[in-house]
Amino acid sequence: MSAQSPPPPPNAARERPPSDSAPEQPPARPWRTEGLPKKPPPKPRSRWITAAAWIVGYLLLFGMLTVQDRLSAPEPVPYTEFKSQVASKNVAELFARGDSIEGELKKVAPVPGQQDRTYQQFTTERPTFASDDLLAELTDGGATVRATSLVQQRGFLTNLLISFGPLLLLVGFYIWMFKRQQGAMAGGLLGGGKQKRVDPETVRVTFDDVAGIDEVEAEINEVVDFLRDPEKYRRLGARAPKGVLLAGAPGTGKTLLARATAGEAKVPFFSASASEFIEMIVGVGASRVRELFSEARKVAPAIIFIDEIDTIGRARGGARAVGGHDEREQTLNQILTEMDGFSGHEGVVVLAATNRPDVLDPALLRPGRFDRQIVIHPPDHKGRSEILKVHTRKVPLSVDVDLEQLASSTPGMTGADLANLVNEAALLAARRGQDAVSQRDLTDSLEKVQLGTARNVVIPEEQRRRTAYHEAGHALLGMLQPGADPVRKVSIIPRGRALGVTLSTPEADRYGYDVNYLRGRIIGALGGMAAEQEVFDIVTTGAESDLETVTRIARSMVGRWGMSERIGTLSVLPAEGDPRIAGISDGLLNAVDEEVRRITDECYAEARRLLRENRDKLDAIVAQLLVHESLDEPQIYAAAGIARTAIAPSPAPIPA
């Protein structure tokens, strides 16, 4: 199976995450802010603090009740003191429960042993061995003996709490349930989940953190300059763009560029994804848009960044409309209204990012809304070198590391790919117990990223030999084709879903393709299948991905790029969708299929002819592959006996 130059998932540069970041706190709004005026952030209340507050409150209440009960409690006196008061007929009333006696005197009396204290209500314990006729003595003294309810002996506050306690518990339980239900409704229906708050101090990025897209920085510098010094433009009657649309494939650094713009201008930055505005309940998205723009105006000058704006900004009506979604359209209408409402002196600039600018509503792209569109392309060789320098700032490198050579070996790779490459190399160096990342670590990581992780599987010798001829066929035709991309590596070690891989990458970046180069790519892709048929007279399933690549290139040559005399200068096959919708006839489509078949048949015949004429070179490469399993660029050319010559700049991988 062949691994020709991998298709480029473009990206520009990736920001370096801060080493020390503040703890994330969920804000109340569904967007993240950065660079707002300094305010002490509200500290989240810890569960321990809440529990401690409840415990302290309980202890205070318990203490108050205890003090009240003690103040209103009767004075404990000895039984002899009680008998003396009975004898003096000073007992007014009395309540007995077992041997416990509580009562009240007619006149206050001093506490025994404490002449400075007096008492009137008392309590005492009758000894079990007492044999006096207490009831007769009390009756003779005119005392009233009765049964008194226990509730009447408690304090006022205690009785009040006991009376209203159950009701308070019911009310508290109802409030708790109501708030819990409200939170569930907000989370499930209104989408009020936890959102990440961007720390204004530790996450600011500038253009120093962006590399590989210098031309884009130059364009967006006007926005930065306006936000820094708006009077310079107002004197000449100029106004800043109300909106800047950043278009590019996923991961091209659109979000990073927007944040770097805000960091460079030193203004607050509001970031939100368009999908956060869309909710199940109609009207929620529009209200969130109003609130977002209102908050930005309060701290103007400011930047609002809306990521993936095609989620809500798709064209209303037409073939590309997703259907009648009232919430999406209301949200889009609110954005249009808010951007139209700018007077031009509010100092609020809207940045938006999308991967599909072709599906956006025309109302968004008209002047006065998104005045400027900036397309972010994949980085070139110089850009890749700068991106590698950015991502290796905090990575210790050995003296043998050559970032320029690494940039030359990674055409089509984007900033995210390069960041991943550096990270994989650092992980590999750590596993090997090294103190710094070497060139070998970077090369091995590049092999892993481009070719996949090696699998430890045992392959029968016959299958191994057939795989070696398959990969050698790819490599030999890549070396024989004039102007073809140099063969960088050949391996029969199983990686991913492939039993073997051949890697070819161009010497330099180029952005145009001619017929000879494309036919050479087809011949090289068919080399594995042709080698198997020449040597073993069979065709295996290992050519599946090769045939997909061949079909894609040949169909694009005939149906999109006008490289067939029979079809002529027509664009027959659209990038997506059924060509019949665009009015293409079945006869023309049949002619395209016949031309695709003709081109692939001619290229396959040429591949078999070249392999027959250079069978000795093919066998030599196979012999070395069976011994070493993996050959680098110098080893491949040495095994084939072909001199490695400088090759003119070649195009990047064929677009889909």
Cα 377 to Cα 169: distance, rounded to the nearest angstrom: 64
Cα 476 to Cα 605: distance, rounded to the nearest angstrom: 15
One-character DSSP codes across 544-574: HHHHHHHHHHHHHHHHTS---TTT-S---S-
Q: Strand 75-76 and strand 114-125: pairing?
A: parallel
CB 194 within 8 A of CB 26: yes
What does the block give as tokens for 147?
A: 């049964």
CB burial readout 94-113, b (16+ within 10 A) else e: bbbeeeebbbbbbeebebee
Q: Strand 144-145 and strand 269-273: pairing?
A: unpaired
What does the block give as tokens for 224?
A: 């930065």
CB 607 within 8 A of CB 522: no
Cα 13 to Cα 419: distance, rounded to the nearest angstrom: 8
Q: Strand 372-375 and strand 487-491: pairing?
A: unpaired
- Calculate ∠ Cα 118-120-121, nearest 5°: 125
For tokens 């995450």, name the residue.
Answer: 17
Which residues neighbour 152 within 8 Å (Cβ) at sequence distance 6 or greater? Answer: none
CA 543 → CA 472, 578, 595, 648, distances in Å? 13, 27, 21, 29
What is the helix, strand, coil percentage profile of the chain, to 5? 50, 15, 40
C-alpha 59: how far from chain center: 46
Handedness of CA 587, 588, 594, 598 (dihedral sign): positive
CB 477 within 8 A of CB 642: no
**Active-site residue, selected from the candidate residues 471, 532, 595, 606:** 471
DSSP class of residue 251? Answer: T
Helix axes 527-536, 515-525, angle to 10 degrees: 40
Cα 371 to Cα 248: distance, rounded to the nearest angstrom: 17
- Calculate ∠ Cα 196-198-204, nearest 5°: 155
Q: Is 471 noted as a catalytic residue in this protein?
A: yes
Which residues neighbour 196 within 8 Å (Cβ) at sequence distance 6 or greater? Answer: 24, 26, 32
Instruction: List active site positions.
Output: 471
